Amino acid sequence: MVQKICFVTIGATASFDQLLQAVFSNAFFQALETLEYTHLLLQYGKNGKKLLEELDTSMAAGRKINRHDIEISGFDFNTKGLGQEMWSTKAAQDRAEGVVISHAGSGSILDALRIRVPLIVVPNTSLLNNHQVELAEELAKQGYLVHGRLDDLPAALRASEAHRKKLQAWPPNNRGADPSGRGFAGVMDEEMGFYD
């Protein structure tokens, strides 16, 4: 059987349990099954292990959540980075191309864009002085990723399948290919307050 992996990362510096809760829903597991995913790999951070254990207990008892035969595994943090996990979503001989679902931290976004797999970015709107929504919106507008929302993650998963056919290479060509003319550097300059 060919594997198809959905890798979800919530990051290391700020807790983002809301993303895990959105993933642990019947609607999300149904979307995974419909899109022929076989594995869900979670980087769940410091608090997510308890949520994963509750999910396992609930599913084992046959209550609430049906995982639709999706194999679930996870870990709190990888001191060597998440490159290996992100690469596991790339197509290979025994694997169909999957997807990365990430918090909107710029490091995780850049890592996933370099690998060139479908990327869904879900901003953590509970953070103070939050720039994540603007970053996700701008990169989605430029066609690099799908901007996901906690209240409808299955829709973002479906959108990533269409987005797969038109993935853009990263880093972008800053010689006019960007319709806004700013590129990622321009977005970051604006966020940092560097104006021409």
CA dist., res. 42 & res. 72, Å (int): 8
pLDDT score, position 182:
60
User: What local confidence, expressed as pLDDT, does residue 89 receive?
Assistant: 96
pLDDT, residue 172, reads: 64
CA separation for the pair 55, 36 (Å, rounded): 21
Largest CA distance in the chain: 60
Report d(CA 32, CA 110) in Å as an integer. 24
The pLDDT score that the predictor gives to residue 151 is 94
What is the structure's pLDDT at 145? 96
Predicted pLDDT of residue 183: 64
What is the predicted pLDDT for the residue at 27? 93
Please list the ranges in the chain whose pLDDT falls under 50. 177-179
pLDDT at 52 (0 to 100): 78
pLDDT value of position 100: 98
